[in-house]
Structure 1
Amino acid sequence: MEAVTVVAHPLVQHKLTLMRDKKRSTKGFRQLLNEIGMLLAYEVTRDLPLELVETETPLTTMMAPTIAGKKLVFAPILRAGVGMLDGMLSLVPSARVAHIGLYRDPETLTAVEYYFKAPSDVAERLVVVIDPMLATANSAVAAIDRLKDRGARDIRFVCLLAAPEGIQRLTSAHPDVRIWTAAIDTHLNDHGYIVPGLGDAGDRMYGTR
């Protein structure tokens, strides 16, 4: 099975191009990130297991498919991952949510944890980790390390943009975690930003610097 899935749907690609535009407003960027989050959630949940249950329609009784097992968990990496969460929850409103607070040390680029809260039975659920940018992958690796410490074993990672360096780091650290992304850009610059990229997703989403 492929370690990385690039979601080439025309709507995803169109919205991503709009987000790359440096003149896009904070409101517009946030709205587009929310919309892409929903579209990416559709792709990452494409192979969820189904089971048949008895259902009574207005005309008859039938055996109809429904998602099997416990409800999945969306795990956004704060703060930028939250920008994709509402779109995903609009598609899967019954999902549980874990929050993983990490920031990137500006000198070392390493991930520093400041908050972690997850469902107590996260080990029994599919966990979808969310972060718009897979750059150095330091935050992604740290988040998945933390989830695995809590027993999670069925983990997927969803991002808007990925750099080859980030993909290599994440797949090396966690070869069992598949990645979904809208695009793989060319490289990281000296400051750990994806090029051509779209800048800092958190800053553009919240209007900060």
Structure 2
Amino acid sequence: MSRFHIIEHPLIAHKMSVLRDKETKTPLFRQTLREVAYLMTFAVTQHLDMVAVRIETPLEVADCHQLKAPNPCLVSILRAGNGLTEALLNILPEASVGHLGMARNDETLKPEKYYTKLPNDISARQVILADPMLATAGSTIAAIDILRDHGVKDIVFMCLLAAPEGGERLRKAHPDVPIFTAALDRQLNEKGYILPGLGDAGDRIYGT
């Protein structure tokens, strides 16, 4: 799949096994998810625009680079996406944060929008869209459609797990949006859940 990036690293692989384990309790699941997000951040943010700046160090003047203003925006697909965006904020505190509420209808498997809150100047920002699971891709495609409607041109999507079906649907709907994931799983089941997967990420993050 074009522009589909599986971030492979021994530490990510190890921590993903912790997330997949049904015996992993909520506190450890939440902590491990944050750690995987930290490890993914280097690849996910590789595209961010920079500007040259001249800094005066204690010894001399140095030519450096900083993030271009306005700073990036992290957009969470509620509620599970918060687990990733909160981790990214620890590394990218300059970022603004947006939220898109998407609930999947368990009968139709289609997303239902219930909340949108984005920065007023989001059209001028690079956006990292986050949701732990790329299953059917319905919520992700709908979220990107909303961002496009707000004038956003530069979007990267970040997830922990992706199903081939969702990856292909997203690629066809938005071929210019790179996908970064920690793992590509086998398939979806009849209810639209990723196999082997890790269960419902939101429930496991928040203990519900």
TM range (shorter): over 0.9
What is the distance in 2 between the residues matched to 1:40 and 1:97?
Answer: 18
In the aligned structure 1, how far is the partner of 2:2 from the partner of 2:50? 22
TM-score (norm 2): 0.97
- For residues 18-167 of structure 1, the aligned pairs below 5 Å read 18-167=18-167
**Is contact 1:75–1:97 with CA below 8 Å preserved after alignment?**
yes
CA distance in 2, matches of 1:39, 1:45: 11
Contact 1:55 1:64 in 2 (8 A): yes
The question of whether the paired residues in 2 share the 8 Å contact of 1:80 and 1:131 is answered with: yes
1:137-157 alpha-carbon deviations (Å, 9 max, x no partner): 000001001111111111110
Cα deviation, 1:43-100, whole Å, max 9, x if unaligned, reads 1111323222111111111211222242000001001001111210011001010100
Shift of 1:41: 2.1
Q: Which residue of 2 aligns with 1:10?
A: 10
Deviations 1:129-171 (A, max 9, x none): 1000000000000100111111111111000000000001111
Distance 2:21 2:106 in 1: 25
Q: RMSD in angstroms over aligned alpha carbons?
A: 1.2
Take 1:139 and 1:48, find their aligned partners in 2: how far apart are those partners? Answer: 24
Looking at structure 2, the residues matched to 40 and 63 of structure 1 have their Cα atoms a distance apart, in angstroms, of 28
Aligned to 1:201: 201
For residues 195 and 33 of structure 1, the distance between their equivalents in structure 2, rounded to whole angstroms, comes to 18
Q: In structure 1, give the amino acid aligned to 2:94.
A: S
State the secondary structure of the residue aligned to 1:147: helix
SS at match of 1:101: strand
Is 2:177 the partner of 1:169? no
Q: Distance in 2 between matches of 1:206 and 1:87?
A: 15
TM-aligned CA deviation for residue 37 of structure 1: 1.7
8 Å contact kept, 2:127–2:154: yes
Deviation at 1:12, TM superposition (A): 1.4
Counterpart CA distance in 2 for 1:49 and 1:79 is 28
Q: Which moved more, 1:172-181 or 1:41-50?
A: 41-50
In 2, are the aligned partners of 1:53 and 1:63 still within 8 Å (CA)? Answer: yes
Tell me the TM-score normalized by structure 1: 0.96
**Partner residue of 2:178?**
178
Take 1:52 and 1:76, find their aligned partners in 2: how far apart are those partners? 30
Cα distance, 1:8 vs. partner?
0.4
> 2 CA distance for matches of 1:125 and 1:119?
9
